[in-house]
Each structure stands twice: as structure tokens, then as C-alpha cells.
Amino acid sequence: MKQWADYLQPNGVLKNKLDITDDEKLHDVEYEFSTQRLKFLEQNDFLLPDGYQLTGKDVTELKRINQFLLGEIYDWAGEYREVDFNKTANGVVTHFHPVMLFGNAEWDIQRQLIDFAQLPADRDVVAEALGNLVTEMNMFHPFREGNGRSLRAFTEVLAWQKGLALTFTQDLQDAYMTASIKDEPKLMADVFRQILTNWQD
């Protein structure tokens, strides 16, 4: 099993394929790459370049998405992390699923995805389900980097499955982040009620 330091360069910056040693520059490159790739997915109805059609019906699609978004930057993109970790935001410490419980987390999320696929394409119903799903998947946090972006793409696939799209304003983006930090499914569902719109082909 990897140790925390195995992912890092001596100066603490994540090891990467581009030999970037500055944390801020790496963050900027990550953002640019992942933003372009997410736009590609949206413009191509979530069909990956290798011909795989994302459906939102299989939890392991998260791996495909993470690999697509960050595979040009990290060797381990698309692979679950092998270290436990938590994150502090606005003074709140979030403990994500430990690696030893990944199997349980996958099973539970997969069960919810099966149920989600059976739901009617009703905005309120979908928002409620996404509130629960996204909160749980955020706590899963299976990758060393790119969890938020991978989950955002996967959530767009889930909405698309129901003929819907996610339309964020800055205020709603902030509300989404607040719901994520507070780990509140009801709060997250309220955000989705505001950002779900009809999918435009």
C-alpha cells in the first residue's frame, strides 16, 4: 500500500508527468486540462474518445472520467487512492472514506445508481436523489486528486440520463460547495432544484 509521501515530490508538490514543481502552476494546468475535457464531454453527449458511452449507471465510470480528465498529468489518474486522508475547509474537517471501506462504499453507491436509473425524469425527484447521491459520492472521494471535477462530470451524466443539464451561476457554485462541506443531502438537493435545467442538444 502506498504512503502519503509516495504521491509527492520532495518539495510537497504532487508528482506529475509534466515535471511541474510549482504547486500553483500545477493547479492552473489541472484546471485548464480538466475544464477543456469536461467541455468535450458535454459537447459529445458524454461519449469518451475511446468510444465508451458514459451512462451514469455504473460507479466504476468514475475511474474512466478521472482518467480522461487528468490522465495527461498523473500516472495514477483513473486509479483509486491507496492512502486515507481528510480535508479542512472553512475550519471544518472532513474525513473521507478509508481505503479499507471502498468496497462497501462502491456497493452502496451502485445500489443507488440502479435505483436512480428507474426514477422518472421529474426535476424535483431527480434533485432529491442527486442530493443523496452526490453527498455520498463526495464522502467516497476515491482519488488522490480531481475528485470534485470527476464527480461534477459524473453528476452531469446522471442529469443527462434524465434529459436534464446542470446550469451553475457563481452563487449556486458557492452554494454547492457549502452543501459539500457541510455534508448535507437536503441542502445539496435544494441546490440541484435550482441548477437542473432541460438538456439542450
Q: Following DSSP, what letter does each residue of 126-156 receive, concatenated?
A: HHHHHHHHHHHHHHH--SSS-HHHHHHHHHH
CATH code at 190? 1.10.3290.10
Number of domains in the chain: 1
Model confidence at 201: pLDDT above 60: no
Interatomic CA distance for residues 99 and 187, integer angstroms: 27
Q: For residue 4, what pLDDT is reported? A: 78
**What pLDDT, in 10s, does the model give residues 113-148?**
999 999 999 999 999 999 999 999 999 999 999 999
Question: Phi/psi of residue 197, each to 5°?
Answer: -135, 170
**What pLDDT, in 10s, does the model give residues 78-94?**
999 999 987 776 676 67
C-alpha distances in angstroms, 45 versus 142, 145, 153? 25, 24, 11
Q: For residue 18, what is the enclosing H or E element?
A: none
Show the domain range for 92: 4-198
Rounded mean pLDDT, 152-161:
96
